[in-house]
Amino acid sequence: MQGILAPIIFALTAIAGGVMRPDYSHVFQAISELTEAGAADKIYLDPPLLLMEILTILFGLGFFWTVRFLNWQLKSSALLLMIIGAGGMFFYRYPMDPMGAEMTSDGKMHLVIVTASALAAILSVFLSARGWMATSDGRTMARMSYTVLSVVLLTGFGSIFVAVWGWPGIGIWQRVNTGAFSVWQIATAITLMRSPTMQTQ
């Protein structure tokens, strides 16, 4: 259930943040701008985001426990989810610098965490796809994971190019990226709940 709740909380928090900042654009602005250093609504958005990270860690633990007798790929995917959740808890301490402002040490650390989390997410989905493919009834989840992996890679690189070149639209690229990962989380959680006793081939 944690794997379902975490993405929902993230989406609702992002929506609420946009409502609280009428000048904010979900299409043109990065998600992290909602909780950037000095943001007036940061105090309201940080708690639900912290809860989301805790739920992600718990989901990773449950994922690992369920697949502990299957294969190393699925166990590694679960461990990476726990790392993503643990790393995400540091966003509260290291917020994004406001756009156009001089980069601070906290802002640099924010970028390091974002990059590490993105790479961990890509690897987690990839290992999940490989792991599900090796189970007796996980082929559908494997194909779904590979599809999500393609979207995450495409939008991830797209976000980098948009940010580096200063093109408009980084918000939509990020949301498709995080949305695809969220769909994968929910699908994984449902798969684990429906087939808790999967066997290797």
DSSP string, the chain: -HHHHHHHHHHHHHHHHHHH-TT--TTTS-GGGGG-TT-TTHHHHHHHHHHHHHHHHHHHHHHHHHTTTS-HHHHHHHHHHHHHHHHHGGGTTSPPPPTTSPPPHHHHHHHHHHHHHHHHHHHHHHHHHHHHHTBTT-HHHHHHHHHHHHHHHHHHHHHHHHHHHT-S-HHHHHHHHHHHHHHHHHHHHHHHHH-TT--B-
Q: Per-domain residue ranges for the chain? A: 2-194
Which range among 20-29, 155-164, 185-194 shows the weakest confidence by mean pLDDT? 155-164
Mean pLDDT over 110-123 rounds to 91
- Does residue 182 have a pLDDT over 90? yes
Q: Which two tokens stand for residue 76?
A: 């590694």
- Does residue 176 have a pLDDT over 80? yes
- Does residue 196 have a pLDDT over 90? no
Mean pLDDT over 40-46 rounds to 86
pLDDT tens, residue by residue, 57-80: 999 999 999 998 889 999 999 999
φ, ψ for residue 38 (rounded to 5)?
Answer: 85, 0
- Does residue 190 have a pLDDT over 70? yes
